[in-house]
Amino acid sequence: MRLSAKFREQYIQHEMRTHGRKNGFVTTGQEARLLKWLPIVGLPKDKTLTMSKVPKNSPIVLEIGFGNGDFLVHLAENHPDWTLVGVEIYLPGVAKAVGRLEDASFIERTRITQLPAQYVLEHQIEAEQLDGVFINHPDPWPKARHHKRRIIQKDFAELLVSRLKQGGFIKLASDVSDLAEWMRVILDSTKGLTNIAGQDGYIERDADRVLTKFEERGLKAGRKSQFLHYVKD
Ligand SMILES: C[S@@+](CC[C@H](N)C(=O)[O-])C[C@H]1O[C@@H](n2cnc3c(N)ncnc32)[C@H](O)[C@@H]1O
């Protein structure tokens, strides 16, 4: 990869412990777009969201694990007043999404980072700064011994709640029923959150939702996704 050592040090992380792929092939064109846009909309390790000068009075909505950016582009299209913060550890996904957001002229309304969600929430986002969070099809880690790698854990749920404004939302989707249940059980018992569908409940799929790569992959394999919607009390 041709990204300079200085650029990599600021915008790309290898040292933080995460599970799942981080590296992969990035084309020369994608690399040029990363080099152009991350200094403008990126969140390097030592910069907070507030320091990135998000517009005042614009709802701030975070997407964790945006993959190739399907949903981020859809959100930008449908919510022109929102500032979107996209977090994705897989660099080729970041590169693809940056290209798509630039092509659609949405990029300047976003903040994009390849740092892990845990770091971003803990160190770069303030308490009660977010209006909403989307987590679509997080990695299922199906083996029981890998369940501790799932992103939704008790302490992560508490961290999410602390970063949400009162009335803010968390919306999640999964095509893996065991993982949907795992997330529901943890979030239903997290203080300060109300499940909009009632305890133990799932909401209907939002009619205007775009099909993400992993929802589509699930459908092709005969797995219908389940959807969760929580609001901070
Ligand atoms: C199964 S994919 C789903 C992608 C997309 N949301 C979709 O619905 O098609 C899960 C994504 O979460 C990302 N991811 C995993 N752990 C993460 C973390 N700690 N912080 C940010 N993203 C993470 C992975 O790199 C991967 O792209």
What is the set of domains in the chain, with CATH numbers? Answer: 5-232 (3.40.50.150)
| Residue 9: predicted pLDDT | 79
CA of 112 to the centre of ligand 1 (A): 14
Q: Which residue ranges in the chain fall short of pLDDT 70?
A: 1, 14-15
Give the DSSP H or E segment for 185: helix 177-188
Residue nearest to atom 27 of ligand 1 (CA): 67
Task: Return the ligand 1 atom nearest residue 66 CA.
Answer: 6
For the annotated catalytic residues, the residue numbers are 139
Q: Which residue among 12, 63, 73, 90 is best mutated to probe the pocket of ligand 1, counting the most ligand atoms within 8 A of its Cβ?
A: 90
Using alpha carbons only, how large is the chain's radius of gyration in Å?
A: 17
Residue nearest to atom 1 of ligand 1 (CA): 139
| Residue 1: predicted pLDDT | 52
**What does the alpha-carbon distance between residue 174 and residue 195 come to, in Å, rounded to a whole number?**
16
Q: Which residue has the tokens 């996704």?
A: 225
213 CB near ligand 1 (under 6 Å): yes
| Residue 15: predicted pLDDT | 67
Q: Which residue among 62, 71, 137 is best mutated to probe the pocket of ligand 1, counting the most ligand atoms within 8 A of its Cβ?
A: 137
| Residue 20: predicted pLDDT | 76
89 CB near ligand 1 (under 6 Å): yes
| Residue 233: predicted pLDDT | 96
112 CB near ligand 1 (under 6 Å): no
SS3 195: strand
64 CB near ligand 1 (under 6 Å): yes
75 CB near ligand 1 (under 6 Å): no
SS3 231: strand
Task: Return the ligand 1 atom nearest residue 19 CA.
Answer: 16
| DSSP letter (8 states) at residue 205 | P
| Residue 22: predicted pLDDT | 77
User: 134 with 64: CB under 8 angstroms?
Assistant: yes
Task: Return the ligand 1 atom nearest residue 90 CA.
Answer: 25
User: 131 with 61: CB under 8 angstroms?
Assistant: yes
Half-sphere exposure of 54 (CA within 13 A, CB side): 25
